[in-house]
Structure 1
Amino acid sequence: MNQVTVCEYASLTTHPVKTPSLALAQVSPSAFDHLCTLSEQFRRGGASLVRIDGRTRLRLDGFVGVIQTPCGTTVEILPKHTEGTGERDKEASRALLRKLIQSMFDMKAREVGVASLETFNAPLTEWVMARFLDELDHIVQRGLRFNYQRVEEEQPYLRGQLNVMAQLRQPPGREHRFQIRHDVFTPDRAENRLLRSTLNLVCKQTTSTDNWRLAHELSVRLAELPDSRDIQADFRAWGTDRLMAHYQSVRPWCEIILLKAMPLALQGQTKGLSLLFPMDRLFEQHVAACLRRRLDNTYRIRTPAASQYLCQQGGKDIFRLEPDIFVEHGPTNKWVLDAKWKLLDETNHKEKFDLSQADFYQLYAYGQKYMGGVGNMALIYPMSAKFSRPLAPFDFSNQLRLHVLPFDLTSERIIGLGAMQLPALIPAVASNQLNRAHAA
């Protein structure tokens, strides 16, 4: 199996590449054709996966993840958060992608899994399957949840309760058969069926020796569990009560592998598991999750907000406005924050720091509709070597101001947030204690 690792917006070509890097790599003609076909399917759905540049070259768009082609080529697409293209940058991008995926699905690693999370360098699909197997093994060690199911059947003996009406309806000559109903204590419940279906998929698709060994060991131990016959219905029936608390950490991994919760999941003629994430969405969710951890409980955070519209026509609302993050504190204090996955250059004054005029129009509309034209807003971009400190504020008016702030992907904090008059930030020590307590 041929594996190609690149970053978002990289170029792929069928011509030989002398020195492959995160920005340029070679793929087989069959893989190239598959990506073109896939891109056409995306375009019909309103998304853009690649931009075709001639017959032998294409350029990826803003998606990250893994695509496995029918010919056996695996294209791993990593986030582009630095200008480097070396091996160290590749591992840093992989680690960042894993962290963003966990944040998007609110997956909290247990203390026993933190070390392996930081050092596991396998491709994304193997890492996803490894995390599922780790959580499933934890559940098996704690014990599967059973429940009672009512069974109505015919037997030559009495057990449980006699079903009187069914017994009276029996034809002559069958008086020796008893129509009974009774309860059976069984593991056949929605959550366990989904675990079995996910495990079966992992057993078939994993190529990692460690994953294969653990998957088949768990398969033997869970041999009595049936497969899910209706995956969507079983997810809707997933229990959230106190007795099912230890199952909650495995659910997101089941949703990813069974292709039910992915922003984009591909499964067709491809034999493997292909997962794609919009990088903008991943970054937005991660910023919101970090902000929630650092603000106290008196702040209300909506992600996204969707209560205001740009205009009305004939009494009907037109063009809904949805800022990424809307923070409220009390009846009057409000903040709008929008996260953008884009590398800025704080020295590029000529090109206005690579900022988008359309983003400013968008934030101005948010400020008018959500904040009444009064207060502080922020555009948040990833921190990089060329953008390490907040830009000077942009004033829409004397009362409405826009801040452009960097987000430190290492320390997971927004630099310069205090200038927006958000003073109730939990101190870093207390925040880390809360995170450790929540993870445990």
Structure 2
Amino acid sequence: MPSYTVREWDTLPHGDGEGSIPAHLASRLVALTKTSPFAGRGGGGVLEDRRHELRARGVVGVIAAQGCSLEILPKIDVMQAEGAERQNAAIRKRLVHMLAVALDLKIEIGRITDLDWQRETLLEILIRLFCDKLTEAIRRGMPRRYLGHEEDLSALRGTLDVPRQFTRHALNPGRLACRFDDLSQDIALNQIMKAAVAHVSRTSRSPANQQRLRELAFVYADISDVPVPALRWREVIIDRTNRAWQDLFGMAQLFLRSRYQTTSSGSGQGSALLFEMNALFEEYVGRLVTRALAGTEFRVTLQGGRLFCLTSVENDRALFQTKPDILIWRGGQVAHVIDTKWKRISARIDDPKLGVSQGDVYQMMAYAHLYKSPKLTLLYPHHNGLGANEGVQAQFRITGQETVIETGSVDVANGKDLAARLRDKFLLNVFGGS
């Protein structure tokens, strides 16, 4: 089955030429993306169907339709001299890292070779990581739990259910209504793992992954089949007895129900594993800022605040609630507001406003008024057009006030010590070296 790769906001021509996707396959992909919650108005949120090409938008991931698949990678500037395949491999690695941080997963990517990163799509890499981790966990033992049972037996087991005994077996003393606990593997956690294995088995196209998934399906043969909507997620409690399954539980949510992606399938249409980069970038940076300030006097809240901009004159009803991406508190006061934007800003030499939209500025001014923070940051992904150095790109003072709004960039292509770099470049200059 042919597989195509394109980066967000780039185009893929359709036709019969080299490097093009046949028009009938392009139509299938477009039809599938229109069923996604990310479709947006007119179905243009994932793919924009132009006359002679497809244009990817701000959603990344893998779309698998009948007869083909399309991988959309984020527009992250990596080393330019290594060729398209190596660049795509580096981007896949960075995207998996971002997912791991955002979803609080410990994913060991070192076992995947450079060749694997080049020849496998993002979906196949995630499936392989899941299979490897699940296989290792099963070798240490599948989780079990005592479950309550009610059964009519010829000999007493556990305790006697007196009401049921005298209503059901009053005339048959040879049967005893028993209540007992039995150690079982057929529990919610294992049912979720089985559902995840079945789900990715339907989407994987890699022979190696398919072999691993068949082996795992055999291991889970005695576990009940539960439809995804009926899975009992809330019954899963991760504690010291099953701590090794925490990351697997998170990966199962990634495939089946994560807030950052949607997996949609239709009758014969296909499936999609998609991630909205705005939401992913926001959570990624938020968790890194939380790590950077751990153990200090500062407290970080994500998507917090929730103050309202307006109050109705007629009935005092609060309207237009705000949810800043990152609030950093010192005591009971907001010391810093950070709002992330997965957009490309311009260099100062090209545009004195740096390509920052007027709507983003108005949003930050509203935050400044409501949260009384002395400094606010609009944080964007770094790219080569901004020069070699990430960090603060420009600072502005709100007219007539001391409040500072700054624009900054962070290089997600370089994941080394990123939490420390955020602290050094954006946080210490706010908190006086704290």
Amino acid at match of 1:421: V
The residue that corresponds to 1:281 in the other structure is 279
Match of 1:399 among 398, 402, 413: 402
Matching of residues 117-196 of structure 1 within 5 Å: 119=114, 120-121=116-117, 122-170=120-168, 174-196=172-194
- Do 1:199 and 1:215's aligned partners in 2 also have CA atoms closer than 8 Å? yes
Structure 1 residues 302 and 157, CA gap change in structure 2 (3 angstroms): same
Give secondary structure in 2 for the equivalent of 1:392. Answer: strand
Q: TM-score, normalised by structure 1?
A: 0.85
Further displaced range: 324-333 or 276-285 = 324-333
Structure 1 residues 173 and 341, CA gap change in structure 2 (3 angstroms): closer
Deviation at 1:331, TM superposition (A): 3.2
The residue that corresponds to 2:74 in the other structure is 79
Report Cα offsets for 1:51-89 as digits up to 9, x if no partner.
3333x43322110001111x2210100001239682232
Structure 1 residues 351 and 11, CA gap change in structure 2 (3 angstroms): farther
How many pairs does the alignment contain? 413
Q: Residues of 1 paired with 2:244 and 2:9: CA distance?
A: 40
Matching of residues 292-307 of structure 1 within 5 Å: 292-297=290-295, 298-307=297-306
Deviation at 1:232, TM superposition (A): 4.8
Q: Residues of 1 paired with 2:324 and 2:44: CA distance?
A: 20
Structure 1 residues 45 and 177, CA gap change in structure 2 (3 angstroms): farther
Structure 1 residues 304 and 344, CA gap change in structure 2 (3 angstroms): same
- Do 2:338 and 2:376's aligned partners in 1 also have CA atoms closer than 8 Å? yes
- Do 1:125 and 1:273's aligned partners in 2 also have CA atoms closer than 8 Å? no
Match of 2:34 among 27, 36, 39: 39
Deviation at 1:104, TM superposition (A): 1.9
Deviation at 1:237, TM superposition (A): 1.0
- Say whether residues 1:239 and 2:248 are aligned partners: no
Report Cα offsets for 1:134-158 as digits up to 9, x if no partner.
2222321332222222222222333
Amino acid at match of 2:310: C
The residue that corresponds to 1:433 in the other structure is none
The residue that corresponds to 1:61 in the other structure is 57
Amino acid at match of 1:324: D
The residue that corresponds to 1:334 in the other structure is 335
The residue that corresponds to 1:375 in the other structure is 374
The residue that corresponds to 2:430 in the other structure is 421
Q: Residues of 2 paired with 1:99 and 1:3: CA distance?
A: 23
Structure 1 residues 163 and 230, CA gap change in structure 2 (3 angstroms): farther
Structure 1 residues 309 and 269, CA gap change in structure 2 (3 angstroms): same
Q: TM-score, normalised by structure 2?
A: 0.86
Structure 1 residues 392 and 201, CA gap change in structure 2 (3 angstroms): closer
Structure 1 residues 331 and 205, CA gap change in structure 2 (3 angstroms): closer
- Do 2:62 and 2:72's aligned partners in 1 also have CA atoms closer than 8 Å? yes
Unaligned segments of structure 2, at least 5 residues:
none
Unaligned segments of structure 1, at least 5 residues:
426-440
Deviation at 1:350, TM superposition (A): 3.8
Further displaced range: 410-419 or 331-340 = 410-419
Structure 1 residues 102 and 272, CA gap change in structure 2 (3 angstroms): farther
Amino acid at match of 1:58: L
Structure 1 residues 259 and 272, CA gap change in structure 2 (3 angstroms): farther
Structure 1 residues 8 and 27, CA gap change in structure 2 (3 angstroms): farther
